[in-house]
Amino acid sequence: MAKSKISKDIPLAELTLRKYEKPDGYTGRELVRKVCLTLGLLQPGDSRDVVVDVLHVMLQHKEELLSSKEVEDLVIENRKAHGVVLLGIAPSNIRRQLLRCRELFLIEKVKTSYRITENALFTEIFREKLEAYFLHSILSRTKEYMKRIDQEFLS
């Protein structure tokens, strides 16, 4: 039976993971870029890559709480230091990229500032937040859909 209106095709959670070559030989900004590609924060071939600089400066200042203005200033410095064009550096876009990193639990907001989540290692953040919680819930729901497909069409 077809419904006349699709109700909420908005995902409750979304996680993109990509497999690239081993990270050997990558350092600094290029290593962070590969992590952003791996986690779906950056699309392959995308030149709008300010999220790389946002995450890079957060990692470089891992012990500090940074305001969005401080992140913005550091992103500009970082892009200049790496010879990257100064596109996407508007304050609203920096805040948007901070939010995207927060949505993947890579950084957290503490009052009005940001830091790496719980000052933890990325391996811990991935294991505890993304793998155990986020990925598990997505896989669980996907399995429910697969079971429902089996019941309706293949049994």
User: In this structure, is the dihedral angle defined by the CA atoms of residues 14, 131, 121 and 82, taken in order, positive or negative?
Assistant: negative
For Cα atoms 71, 58, 50, give the angle at the middle one, nearest 5 degrees.
Answer: 65
* pTM reported for the whole predicted model: 0.89
What is the fold, at CATH topology level, of the domain defined by 28-118? Arc Repressor Mutant, subunit A (1.10.10)
Which DSSP letter does residue 25 get? Answer: T
Which residues is 81 bridged to in the sheet? none
Q: What is the average pLDDT score of the chain? A: 94
**Tens-digit pLDDT profile for residues 62-100:** 999 999 999 999 999 999 999 999 999 999 999 999 999
CB atoms under 10 Å from CB of 122, counted, come to 15
**Both structure tokens of 132:** 């155990």
**Tens-digit pLDDT profile for residues 4-17:** 566 678 998 899 99
Which residues is 66 bridged to in the sheet? 114
Domain residues of the chain, as ranges? 28-118, 120-155
User: In this structure, is the dihedral angle defined by the CA atoms of residues 109, 54, 39 and 19, taken in order, positive or negative?
Assistant: negative
Q: Is 54 exposed, middle or buried (0-12, 13-18, 19+ CB in 10 A)?
A: buried
Which DSSP letter does residue 91 get? Answer: H
For Cα atoms 23, 64, 101, give the angle at the middle one, nearest 5 degrees.
Answer: 50
